[in-house]
A and B are shown apart, each in its own frame.
Chain A
């Protein structure tokens, strides 16, 4: 039996993160109750270590484990993004979990495990790895959503998430098994080569199952029902995790599969994505219009944002140029969305922690009570709406341009209409914060850790608007192409 060599440097980020997760679990066991919060800086250190391992790989092009694991700019970009998201969520969690006395140590362990799923997902180029990675993101997510055990909404939200997640995994796995059945391979590149010669109907059905499975994970309409209830019921930092890391994990898997494994049969599934994208944008935005609760508003607006991210998949075709433009636009959108959505959650959580609530009516006159918090919240919401001078504007513009380039004009029109609807409810909150008279005039102090995290996020959003090459360069470099058979196996 000869084992192929493993490129240990290529999997270093995963190794560091796994070690950190195990360390947190063990150390937590020996910490007295009042010192349990130490698990948080420990987890942060683990994520910084992972980030360092990612940085040490910058510029690398490595393939290992018989082509099922690939390290390139695309993978590193998303690995880094998962680490950054993890760090922001840790900053949000410290205060919440320390006061609430929910199982702190276990929470940090579960969070690190879920992030590990995301970090593996960025490199997974094989159906089995992709499936296990998406499950590693979801299952700790389900448990974290249930951590507010005393609250019936948390139980309900978690149970809904669990049931939807199990159903979607079953569908996805069935689709994957059919794909393996017809192609005899689990590797994305081999699948892409063999798939066009197979029976059309069977290919269409199996890809359809896989897409439905992912549609649940990224909460696309009509598979979004779990999202608002789960977000509302979970501890808010967990909701922030589900809206950012968990959704992005699903999108990374979808990007790898659709742009790498199934592009040859794009004719068959492209229309499904167009419908999915249009429905997701429109339904998400229309329901978001009526929300009174900020987390539910963000949940439905997150559904709508998924719609914009799905547009890129509806543009895949025979033309390599439009494909790569659609791919880049989607990558840019996902990265920017991750930052701005997390920022909005962070602002909402800091407000609620410091005497506020999650009801939008309580945001009246926030500007007078805490200019910093109101300014940050406004920046994130305006970015989500796609208003310049914030990065969200570029995100929308690139997707818009990509759909014009691919000559799918009707989707561009749907996007335009939706941008207007979305602006309505985002601006309504902003107007309330700046122009309405507050009912309470107590000033609000935001914790420094949170203020720093949110400040950095806003800075990143403004910087990437002023100097767009920051994002376009990243996207230009992150090509998701197979590089042929010569790099199938690399030894360290």
Chain B
């Protein structure tokens, strides 16, 4: 009985994810695409909950929906990026990309169905992964990659600041050089 409603809900969420994922790539408006992305990510979080992976589900909602997509929307607003229709950004390789995507989908779908056909998820085994287990795994056997991620994020943060920062020094020097050039021309 339990398995039946689980399966039913899975199809509901899977449909939501698929439809909104298609929406992300086909939406003509960047804001709409970002909102479709929210629906996709929430759908994935719901599937995690169906599999009793509560920690992953909440991390997904907090990090992806709460932080990343919201940041993307802020980024679009603050950088005055074109947020209307963006049809002109399409390029002529769209067809090729669609073929590659379809091929990858076909192969992975076939392989996954072929190898997991008839396998049923035992409900009690999956129920065993609680937040406590995840926490223990992160801070025992996976503590090194976990700490390395901190260094990686720090490097990414510093890098982002370096790239985004307006170089006062360079710009003022180039302006100086331009001024001198102009002055020299006037002298001549």
Q: Which residues of A contact B (CB under 8 A)?
A: 1, 3-4, 6, 11, 14, 18, 21, 25, 65-69, 101, 103, 106, 109-110, 113-114, 116-117, 120, 124, 126, 128-129, 131-133, 135-136, 139-140, 142-143, 146-147, 149-150, 182, 198-199, 201-202, 205
Bound-complex Cα distance A116 to B149 (A): 11
Q: Does B75 contact A (CB under 8 A)?
A: no
A sample of 13 cross-chain residue pairs with beta-carbon separation below 8 angstroms, ordered by A number, consists of A66-B140, A66-B141, A106-B159, A110-B158, A116-B148, A116-B151, A117-B148, A139-B155, A142-B159, A143-B160, A199-B115, A201-B114, A202-B114
Instruction: Decide: B149 and A132 in contact? CB cutoff 8 A.
Output: yes
Cβ-neighbour of A3 out of B110, B140, B159 (below 8 A): B140
| Cβ-defined partner of A113 (8 Å) among B136, B144, B152, B169 | B152
Is B142 touching A110 in the complex (CB atoms < 8 A)?
no
Per-residue contact bits, chain B 136-178, to A (CB 8 Å; 1 contact, 0 not)? 1001111111001101101110111011000101100010000
List the count of A-B residue pairs having beta carbons below 8 Å apart: 105
**B107–A205 contact, CB under 8 A?**
yes
How far apart sit A182 and B174, CA to CA, in the bound complex (Å)? 58
| Bound-state Cα–Cα, A120 to B144, Å | 9
Residue in chain A with minimal CB distance to B139: A3
| A15 to B, closest residue via Cβ | B147
A1 CA to B143 CA, complexed, in Å: 15
Is B78 an interface residue when CB atoms closer than 8 A count as contact? Answer: no
Known: A68-B141, A128-B145, A199-B114. Is A18-B107 also a contact (CB below 8 A)?
A: no
Given known contacts A65-B143, A68-B142, is B148 in contact with A106 (CB within 8 Å)? no
A1, A3, A205: the one contacting B111 at CB < 8 Å is A205
Given contacts A66-B140, A198-B115, A202-B114, 8 further A-B contacts (CB under 8 A): A25-B154, A65-B144, A68-B144, A106-B159, A106-B162, A120-B144, A129-B145, A132-B145
Minimum CB–CB distance from B102 to chain A (whole Å) comes to 16
Which among B155, B162, B163, B167 has the greatest number of chain A C-beta atoms within 10 A? B155
Q: Are A18 and B158 within 8 A (Cβ)?
A: no
Contact A4 B170 (CB under 8 A): no
Cβ-based interface call for B108 (8 A):
yes
A128–B170 Cα distance when bound, in Å, is 40
On whether the beta carbons of A150 and B148 are closer than 8 Å, the reply is no
Q: Would you call B141 and A21 a contact (CB within 8 A)?
A: no
What residue of chain A has the Cβ atom nearest to residue B117's Cβ?
A199
Residues of B within 8 Å of A128, CB to CB, are 142, 145
With a CB–CB cut-off of 8 A, which chain B residues contact A113?
151-152, 154-155
Chain B residues near A140: list those with CB within 8 A.
155, 159
Q: How far is the CA of A4 from the CA of B141 in the complex (A)?
A: 8
| Those of B100-125 within 8 Å (CB) of chain A | 107-108, 110-112, 114-115
Identify the 5 closest CB pairs spanning chains A and B, nearest first. A143-B159, A199-B115, A66-B141, A113-B155, A202-B115
Interface of A is mostly: helix
* Contact status A139-B141, CB under 8 Å: no
CB-CB under 8 A from A135, the residues of chain B are: 152
Bound-state Cα–Cα, A4 to B174, Å: 57
Number of interface residues of B (CB under 8 A): 31
A182 (CB) vs chain B CBs: closest residue? B115
Evaluate whether A65 and B112 lie within 8 angstroms (CB atoms) in the complex, with A101-B169, A110-B158, A143-B159 already known: no
Query: In the complex the two chains form, what is the Cα distance from A131 to B160 in whole Å?
Result: 21
Q: How far is the CA of A198 from the CA of B111 in the complex (A)?
A: 12
- Counting chain A CB atoms within 10 Å of each CB, the highest count among B114, B139, B151, B174 belongs to B151
Residues of A within 8 A of B158 (CB): 25, 106, 109-110, 143
- In angstroms, Cα B159 to Cα A109, docked, is 10
Residues of chain B lying within 8 A (CB to CB) of residue A120:
144, 148
Contacts of B144 in A (CB 8 A): 11, 14, 65, 68-69, 120, 129
On whether the beta carbons of B169 and A136 are closer than 8 Å, the reply is no
Chain A contacts for B145, CB-based, 8 A: 68, 124, 126, 128-129, 131-133
Specify which chain A residues have a CB less than 8 angstroms from the CB of B140 in the assembled complex.
Answer: 3-4, 65-66
Residues of A within 8 A of B108 (CB): 205
Q: Is the CB of B162 within 8 A of A143?
A: yes
Chain B residues 38-67 with CB under 8 Å of chain A are: none
Complex Cα distance, B170 from A329, in Å, reads 47
For the complex, give the distance between the alpha carbons of A14 and B150 in Å: 13
Give the chain A neighbours of B160 by CB distance below 8 A. Answer: 143
Closest residue on chain A to residue B152 by CB atoms: A136
- Please indicate the chain B residues that have their CB under 8 angstroms from the CB of A68 in the complex: 141-142, 144-145
Name the A residues within 8 Å of B149 (CB-CB). 132
Chain B residue nearest to A202 (CB atoms) is B115
Residues of A within 8 A of B155 (CB): 109-110, 113-114, 136, 139-140, 143
Could you say which of A1, A109, A132, A182 contacts B152, with CB atoms under 8 Å apart?
A: A132
Given the known inter-chain contacts A113-B151, A136-B152, A149-B170, please indicate yes or no for A201 contacting B162, CB distance below 8 A: no
- In the complex, how many angstroms separate the beta carbon of B111 from the nearest chain A beta carbon? 5
CB-based contact B111/A202 at 8 Å? yes
In the complex the two chains form, is B115's CB within 8 Å of A201's CB? yes
The CA of A101 and the CA of B174, in the complex, are separated in Å by: 13
Q: How far is the CA of A274 from the CA of B121 in the complex (A)?
A: 38
- The winner among A25, A103, A117 for most chain B CB atoms within 10 A is A103
**B108, closest chain A residue (CB):** A205
**Chain B nearest Cβ from A156, distance in angstroms:** 14
- 8 Å CB contact of A6 from B114, B143, B148: B143
CB-CB nearest in chain B for A25? B158
Are B151 and A21 in touch, CB under 8 angstroms? Answer: yes
Contacts of B141 in A (CB 8 A): 4, 65-68
Which chain B positions have C-beta within 8 A of A117?
A: 148, 152
Q: In whole angstroms, how far apart are the Cα atoms of A142 and B167 in the complex?
A: 19
Given A25-B158, A140-B155, A132 contacting B148 (CB threshold 8 A)? yes
Residues of A within 8 A of B115 (CB): 182, 198-199, 201-202
